[in-house]
Structure 1
Amino acid sequence: MLDPIIILIALAGGLASRALGLPALIGYLAAGFVLHETNIEGGELLQGLANLGVTLLLFTIGLKLSPAELLKPKVWGTTIIHMASMQLFFMGVLWLAGQLMPGLGLAMNETLIIAFALTFSSTVFVIQVMQERGEMSSRHANLAIGILVIQDLAAVLFLSATKGTIPHVEALGLILLWPLRGVVTRLMERAGHGELFTLFGLGLALGGAALFDYAGLKGDLGALAIGALLAGTQKSKELYRNLMNFKDLFLVGFFLTIGLDGWPEEEALLLALVLGVLAVFKVTLYFPLMTWLHTTPRTALLSASMMGNYSEFGLVVVAVAATTGWIGSEWASAVSLAIATSFVLSSPLSNRAHQLYRRYHKFWLRFESARVIEQKPDTDGAKIIVLGMGNIGTGAYDAIAEEHGYGVLGVDLNERKLSQHSRMHRRVVTADASDPDFWHGVQLDQVELVLLALTHHEENMLVGSLLKDLGYAGRMAAVVRFAEEGRELEQHGFSAFNLYAQAGAGFADHAVEQLKNQDN
């Protein structure tokens, strides 16, 4: 019955962490360790929330999954080389720790498994940070998530192997899921947009996990697979938005359980803290690998800066290996502390990544490959730039282009969407609005107006700050959804258009126009 109190304490930790400029998940971890010191233990409710959170996390990752993205060398190549290198690195660190602290009693099989667990970076951390910044659709988020998905697949395969059994013959029937894609999509459309649709999504995630578990495979892999099966459809985007808050809520339980596991013994405690600090070295390998495989320096830096940590799946790997007797059970708490330490250190680094890139811009460009240099977008003659070519941005573009023609430029990252705009003879380019390299190629002294029709308020603020730093003196206008967002933008020199408040006025104008036409 203490679970509700635990959740309230987690809320307090999350609020305190947010007030300090850190992700809320740091507060949840801290709350877990504090609760452990007070001898409060979580019950079945908390563990159930944690498990459901991880399942929904993988399902929502699947909904955003692009197989074509995973097949790019910069994704799978970076993942394989990085994991292999980190495996050797951490095996060396653990061997050295065993020599300096014989009391650890590290056997070779324990060294192999713990090092393997430490090769993963945290999917939960990256997605939480990207969602809070409004950067889930950015190139660096897509690259990071692609790498993390391949890492997660490796973890899930390991966990499936620890069952000690081979997949059941029923697993062959899972290939029939693909022909059912159309049926499931039609059912999603019939479910509408309300609570039935959200319940349908929860059922798909939990049902996929149960189906794979029945077939002798890891259930989490099933949630990921079902999500991937539906990826790319219009309803999958809506389902992702509906489940996102549920997933975030349930993951609070996961972060609490890490802290509630408590502290390791003295020597293992010291090793855990050292390992937590060493997680930052992951960034120093991610970045050169990405740029070597033709990723832009900015995308590489922003992606790498988020992955200097350890993964929740690493903890699961160690916990499952302990239940099979492959390693000692005491290593679960040591890895938990290493994960928590890596989160605390990774957070300020990822928060400063944009600033670090802008400050040392020329240095990072030294790593740019020739293939990347050839892909600069054409922005010549642009006088009005529309950032974000969704429904709102497209409407604004069409209205302005009637008068300004070729001088209007649309910018978006969605290449599929941009190809449709090109067929409609709109002038569009593929670029990240928050990328200084894109704006360095724009003649800002000729740009009169920048319209920000981006999805998130945080992204609007980031782009506005960047333009000011680059000396842009023209006008900026942005779409907002809430009054407080509009006030903050106006304080920074924007003209804010409140989508909800002012849509009513636009609707009324439309209705009046219809009445005039009827009278005529």
Structure 2
Amino acid sequence: MPEAIWITFAFVLGLLVKMVGLPPLVGYLAAGFVLSGIAETTSLAIEATGVLQHIAHLGVLLLLFTVGLKLKLRSIVSPEVIGGSLLHFAITCAVFAPGVYLLLDVSWSTALMLAIALSFSSTVLAAKVLESKRELRAFHGRVAIGILIMQDLIALVVMSLAAGKTPSQWALIVFGLPLLRPLLFRLLDASGHDELLVLLGLLLALVVGGLGFEAVGLSSELGALIFGAMLANHPRAQELSKSLWSVKEVFLVGFFLQIGMGGLPDSDALLFAVIAGLVLPLKGILFFFLLLAFRLRARSGFLSALALTNYSEFGLIVASVALPEWLVPLAISVSVSFLVSAPLNRFSHGIYERYARNLSRFEGRKHHPDEQPISLGDTRVLIMGMGRTGTAAYDWLADDEARLMGLDSDPAKARQHQKAGRNVVFADAEDASFWNGLHMPAVQSVILAMGDIEGKLIAARMLRKLGFKGYIVAHTMYEDEAKQIREAGADEAYLTMSETGVALASHITDRSASGSAPLAGAAD
């Protein structure tokens, strides 16, 4: 089967690209171009089959379904997300459309659609970069993801208008879909954590959402997004999204292979990609200053903007509907943007620290309420990171008279803790401006309970740099990380699973010592 050869090419080039630190999808596009080149230089008939096209469409539907699973109102209903995304879209189209019209000698409608395609940023790349650095829930990560979701919604509207489909009278059924939400929630609860969960996601995204919406004359992409959004508020929506992540990535291989196999780029396509690459920095600069206009600090604005400085696979999806003849030039432009964006984001914190003084000069006098520097007052025990471990530590110490404060980089989580009666505030340990404005005159002990090793190392170093002489304790999963944390300044770094085992064993020995229960295995 020819598909077996294509998958082999995609795997090999994807692996090679990944080894140099770039997203594998760049390799998938390259694999398509290689196959196309082989077809042109030999007598072999290599072209995208119906199977590949079907797989590509399934990948797009799953991508939109997983976007819908993240579509929570609280993640996008904020001035910086709504205002930043809409203003960036409008300004980009207003600037890029005339430029494309003059440089490429195309119609105004084509120039506008190309500008729209270039205005989007990559959800796949940004999410992967932020997730690899465990910054999806950090303030700048949530701003970037919120803007990406807004862009995805704009892309969906453009696709629906470009497709020009006329819905049937049965399309009115869509307005009754919210009534199905309790049933969908029960199905998700009943699906467990294994293959049934994945099958439920495929059923809703591809069958009910995709084919169901097509049957009533609506976009299958819209159906996949809506059914994902209907599950977004379920506690297990994130688990469903993670379970579908790899399946979606496999299907998207077909989408990028199909684009590459559409033909080798000509000189005009390469020229378009070069121009798009040269203007890419303008995209990031515009995001940076727009976010500063919404009172973000320079660090958050810079990190969010850098994550968004690329072109999007959604631009390709829009082009596949509205401008199929421009797919190859846009695909090369997306690849070039990934070549630039991926390494820059890997070293984003170091880049900001180097230019922090120059960038901070553009900040306004008023800052976003989620980013105000704090004073710890009379706090004696500080817990950094209020996930499950940090919360357990807080609740254990709450019985003592120690004055407690928890810090977390997720403002929504901090508010939830406040509603539960805990003294928790927003703060990002990786933000240099946080440490510069920190006052902690009475703190005696610090518990580092953040999820990522980098945050613990930064916190330990900065605490010692500020002259903190008290006790610092942390937890980690790995012995080598524990050594790094101690070298950074912590007094102790315990292994999480070892401590869990000790705690479980202590429950048995405590009950045995009190005579309330025999040891396991003891004779009656």
Q: Which range, TM-score by smaller chain?
A: 0.7 to 0.9
SS at match of 1:280: helix
Contact 2:456 2:474 in 1 (8 A): no
What TM-score comes out, normalization by structure 1 length? 0.86
Alpha-carbon spacing, 1:343–1:373, altered in 2? closer, same or farther (3 Å): closer
SS at match of 1:179: helix
Give the whole-Å Cα distance in 1 for the aligned partners of 2:293 and 2:512: 62
Deviation at 1:428, TM superposition (A): 0.7
- Please give the per-residue CA displacement for 1:98-121, whole angstroms capped at 9, x wherever unaligned: 3xxxxxx52333222212221211
Residue in structure 1 matched with residue 73 of structure 2 by the alignment: 67
Contact 2:460 2:472 in 1 (8 A): no
- Please give the per-residue CA displacement for 1:350-390, whole angstroms capped at 9, x wherever unaligned: 22322222223233333333442664344334454323222
Alpha-carbon spacing, 1:505–1:443, altered in 2? closer, same or farther (3 Å): same
Match of 2:346 among 351, 369, 380: 351
Give the whole-Å Cα distance in 2 for the aligned partners of 1:391 and 1:314: 39
Deviation at 1:466, TM superposition (A): 6.2
Residue in structure 1 matched with residue 512 of structure 2 by the alignment: 515
Match of 2:332 among 329, 337, 344: 337
Deviation at 1:300, TM superposition (A): 1.5
Deviation at 1:483, TM superposition (A): 6.0
Residue in structure 2 matched with residue 247 of structure 1 by the alignment: 248
2:330 maps to a residue whose letter is V
Contact 1:42 1:257 in 2 (8 A): yes
Deviation at 1:283, TM superposition (A): 0.6
SS at match of 1:285: helix
Match of 2:57 among 36, 51, 56: 51
Residue in structure 1 matched with residue 7 of structure 2 by the alignment: 7
1:150 maps to a residue whose letter is M
Give the whole-Å Cα distance in 1 for the aligned partners of 2:294 and 2:219: 32
Contact 2:376 2:440 in 1 (8 A): no
Contact 1:97 1:271 in 2 (8 A): no
Alpha-carbon spacing, 1:61–1:452, altered in 2? closer, same or farther (3 Å): farther
Give the whole-Å Cα distance in 1 for the aligned partners of 2:394 and 2:456: 19
- Please give the per-residue CA displacement for 1:118-145, whole angstroms capped at 9, x wherever unaligned: 1211112211212222222122222122
SS at match of 2:163: coil
Residue 197 (str. 1) matches residue 197 (str. 2):
yes
Contact 2:273 2:333 in 1 (8 A): yes
Residue 132 (str. 1) matches residue 129 (str. 2):
no
Residue 394 (str. 1) matches residue 391 (str. 2):
yes
2:178 maps to a residue whose letter is W
1:53-132 matches, within 5 Å, as 53-98=59-104, 106-132=106-132
Alpha-carbon spacing, 1:516–1:15, altered in 2? closer, same or farther (3 Å): farther
Residue in structure 2 matched with residue 152 of structure 1 by the alignment: 152
Give the alignment's Cα RMSD to 1 decimal.
3.0
Match of 1:431 among 422, 427, 430: 427
2:161 maps to a residue whose letter is A
Contact 1:83 1:119 in 2 (8 A): yes
1:135 maps to a residue whose letter is E
SS at match of 2:367: helix
Give the whole-Å Cα distance in 2 for the aligned partners of 1:439 and 1:401: 26
SS at match of 1:429: strand
SS at match of 1:166: coil
- Please give the per-residue CA displacement for 1:195-232, whole angstroms capped at 9, x wherever unaligned: 22232222222222333333322222222222222223
Match of 1:468 among 461, 469, 472: 461
Moved more, 242-251 or 268-277: 242-251
- Please give the per-residue CA displacement for 1:20-55, whole angstroms capped at 9, x wherever unaligned: 333444444444444443446555555444433332
Give the whole-Å Cα distance in 1 for the aligned partners of 2:245 and 2:214: 24
Give the whole-Å Cα distance in 1 for the aligned partners of 2:36 and 2:351: 37
SS at match of 2:179: coil
1:74 maps to a residue whose letter is E
Contact 1:379 1:442 in 2 (8 A): yes
- Please give the per-residue CA displacement for 1:59-78, whole angstroms capped at 9, x wherever unaligned: 22222222133232222211
Residue 318 (str. 1) matches residue 330 (str. 2):
no
Unaligned residue ranges in structure 1 (runs of 5+): 99-104, 324-328
Give the whole-Å Cα distance in 2 for the aligned partners of 1:384 and 1:290: 34
Residue in structure 2 matched with residue 409 of structure 1 by the alignment: 405
Residue in structure 2 matched with residue 274 of structure 1 by the alignment: 275
1:399 maps to a residue whose letter is W
- Please give the per-residue CA displacement for 1:136-161, whole angstroms capped at 9, x wherever unaligned: 21222221222222222222122212
Contact 1:277 1:345 in 2 (8 A): no
Deviation at 1:337, TM superposition (A): 0.9
Contact 1:461 1:489 in 2 (8 A): no
Give the whole-Å Cα distance in 2 for the aligned partners of 1:252 and 1:139: 31
Deviation at 1:285, TM superposition (A): 0.6
Contact 1:87 1:119 in 2 (8 A): yes
Alpha-carbon spacing, 1:15–1:221, altered in 2? closer, same or farther (3 Å): same
Give the whole-Å Cα distance in 2 for the aligned partners of 1:501 and 1:252: 41
Give the whole-Å Cα distance in 1 for the aligned partners of 2:49 and 2:480: 39
Unaligned residue ranges in structure 2 (runs of 5+): 40-45, 518-524
2:433 maps to a residue whose letter is D
Contact 1:452 1:460 in 2 (8 A): no
Give the whole-Å Cα distance in 1 for the aligned partners of 2:447 and 2:20: 32
Alpha-carbon spacing, 1:60–1:411, altered in 2? closer, same or farther (3 Å): farther
